[in-house]
Amino acid sequence: MKTVLVTGANRGIGEELCRQFIDEGFWVIGAGRSEEELEKLKARFNSNHLETVVMDISSIQSIMRATGELRDKTIDILINNAGELSASSKLEDSDPAETMRILNTNFTGSVLVARAFVKQLQKSEDPRIINVSSGMGSRSELGFGYGAYRLSKAALNLLTIQMDQENFAGAKVFSVCPGWVKTRMGGSGASLSVAKGAEGIVWLANSPDAESGKFYRDKHIIPW
């Protein structure tokens, strides 16, 4: 049975990823920063294929604690899903504390989590790291506003390329944009259901054809 570790698992796309991976027969480790929310997640699923771990990806201590708890595991798939949206303002009007928080969570947090789980990934026969990015971080789609968020996702995309170049943990590494998805982040006006948004991510975890070091949306490679 393959094991997947999903960050930001307590709601939104992360929760749906847990649902779809359980249905696909994976052992699922759902990570979140609130123990209470993780307990609620477990109660909602009531599945013996789900375990949870407290991990705030903006805290090195919290990441190291989670790594310690999971030290004996093999992790086949790591999904850097946890993320936060910045205010819609232009960079010149942005709040410095918010900019630091967004870059720290969306980008640095993903680097540190991947680094922390190298040993567990190396035990897998087909390790994969999936960085949940956004079209808003694509050079071809950069636009007005949400500057910190766009920069954090552009940096996350570069992380995907760097990891692929380094053969990081021997893993295939992907960036993926889930599309515009109805979650707390995406809002109720978004075009896609969480099920549809998670589908392309689950595909990357399973597909023998998915190409490492590329940016995907809806199972197709898109430009950086």
CB nearest ligand NAP: which residue?
A: 12
Pick the closest to residue 95 from 155, 146, 153 (CA basis).
146
User: Is residue 180 at the binding interface for ligand NAP, with CB under 6 A as the rule?
Assistant: yes
- Tell which one of 3, 5, 6, 8 touches ligand NAP (CB under 6 A): 8
Amino acid found at 132: V
* Residues 200 and 176 sit within 8 Å (Cβ to Cβ): yes
Binding segment toward ligand NAP, per CB under 6 A, in 10-18, 46-54, 91-99, 206-214: 10-18
Question: Among residues 3, 12, 73, 114, which is the contact residue for ligand NAP, using CB under 6 A?
Answer: 12
Binding to ligand NAP (CB under 6 A) within 141-170 occurs at none
138 binds ligand NAP (CB under 6 A): no
Expressed in angstroms, the distance from the first to the final Cα of the chain is 33
The token pair that represents 93 in the structure block = 């009007």
Q: Choose one: 22-30, 44-52, 54-62, 70-78; the region binding ligand NAP (CB under 6 A).
A: 54-62
Query: Which of 22, 38, 57, 130 contacts ligand NAP by CB under 6 A?
Result: 57
- β-partners of residue 217 are 177, 220
Per-residue three-class SS string for 95-143: CHHHHHHHHHHHHHHHHHHHHHCHHHHHCCCCCEEEEECCHHHCCCCCC
Report d(CA 115, CA 163) in Å as an integer. 10
Q: What is the total residue count of the chain? A: 224
Q: Rounded distance, CA 103 to CA 223, Å?
A: 22
Of the pair 10, 120, the CB lying nearest ligand NAP is at 10
Using CB under 6 A as the binding rule, the residues of this chain from 108 to 137 that contact ligand NAP are 132, 134
CB of 125 to ligand NAP, least distance (A): 27
- Alpha-carbon distances, residue 190 vs 143, 186, 194, 196 (angstroms): 18, 6, 10, 12
Task: Tell me the three state secondary structure of residue 40.
Answer: helix
Interface size with ligand NAP, residues (CB under 6 A): 30
Pick between residue 3 and residue 131 the one whose CB is nearest to ligand NAP. Answer: 131
Site string for ligand NAP, 181-200 (x = CB under 6 A): x-xxxx---x----------
CB nearer to ligand NAP: pick between 148 and 171: 148
Q: Which residues bind ligand NAP (CB under 6 A)?
A: 7-8, 10-14, 32-34, 37, 56-58, 81-84, 105, 132, 134, 177-178, 180-181, 183-186, 190
